[in-house]
Amino acid sequence: MTKIVDLKEKDRLTQYLMVKSCTKGVTQKGAPYLNLVLQDNTGTIDGKFWDAKAADEAAAIPGKVAEISFEVLEYNRALQLRVNRIVPVDQKLIRIEEFLLSSAMNEETLRAKVQELVTSIGNENLRSLTEGMLAKVGKDFYEYPAASKIHHGYLGGLAEHTLGMAALAEETARLYPLLNRDLLIAGVLVHDMGKTKELGGLISGEYTTEGRLTGHISICHGWLMEVAAEKGLADSEEAMLLRHMVLSHHGRNEYGSPVLPEIPEAEALSLIDNMDARMNTLKTAIEAVKPGQWTAKMFALENRQFYHARLDRNED
């Protein structure tokens, strides 16, 4: 089986791929088609299924592996699949690990690094609230992606994103002494935990009904209020400040935050979150093209293209 990372223009293949997402579209002439995102454990690729019938749509189930017949085209400086056929397959015959992206760090490493951060929080109330949130989310925190598509969208992505942010937070707190380091680290650790309820799981890239209706910010804030009440900290300043950081971490109302950052730590959290997400998005895009080439346009980055310079980079 040819992996997505090894596909080349003009390849014509029939093989198993996971349907990451599937949405319907209609051409200007009224013909139906399917927008697909297909995946294996080396990456994802967009696909178009023109003149799709109802049976084709029924076979393209997000989170399921199907037999896909396709040809590889280049469109807008990126490879894309023209899908000709989708056939359902017995999922019991599938080795699911062949179709799941995952963090470079295993779960044991993620857990150890997160626990080290929790232990380092000197403020007892903030540490207690953070421990309570981790206990509430449990194993999902180390398994779930951080997003459905744009950044850290793979097994362990949520914890990896959190740790990337924590590294930035440590340096930021050292550089700007007005920041309370414990509050900033606690905010980093808890801010995205609601994504374990917002997203459909490890396999499906879809949002849950609760996730679509309420969003991860509201979900996380509700959990934090519950944890604070359970620990007798509902009226503490630490709980109030941490709640504010969760509610404001997207930085703008139009980006989904019901309130704007109004303490320095919340402002820092919003900037750090955005930076880590964007750098991960860029890493994925740059790795998909050769030095000297440009990426495809990226909607998440203001529809810009980025040049893969030939300079060496500080990569492990």
pLDDT over threshold 60, residue 290: yes
- At residue 115, the pLDDT reads 96
Determine the average pLDDT of the residues in 96-106: 81
- At residue 125, the pLDDT reads 98
pLDDT digits (tens, 9 = 90+) for 223-249: 999 999 999 999 999 999 999 999 999
Percent of the chain with pLDDT over 70: 95
What pTM does this model have? 0.79
Determine the average pLDDT of the residues in 250-266: 92
pLDDT digits (tens, 9 = 90+) for 38-78: 989 888 899 999 988 889 999 999 889 999 999 999 887 77
Q: Does domain 101-281 have CATH number 1.20.1740?
A: no
- At residue 121, the pLDDT reads 98
Q: What are the residue ranges spanned by the domains of the chain? A: 4-98, 101-281
- At residue 101, the pLDDT reads 78
pLDDT band at 315 (very low <50, low <70, confident <90, very high): low
Residue 298 sits at the vertex; the CA angle it makes with 292 and 301, to the nearest 5 degrees, is 105
pLDDT digits (tens, 9 = 90+) for 115-170: 999 999 999 999 999 999 999 999 999 988 876 565 566 778 899 999 999 999 99
Q: Which amino acid is at 122?
A: G
Q: Are 66 and 86 in contact (CB under 8 A)?
A: yes
- At residue 7, the pLDDT reads 93
Tokens of 223: 């959990």
First to last CA, the chain: 29
CATH classification code of 4-98: 2.40.50.140
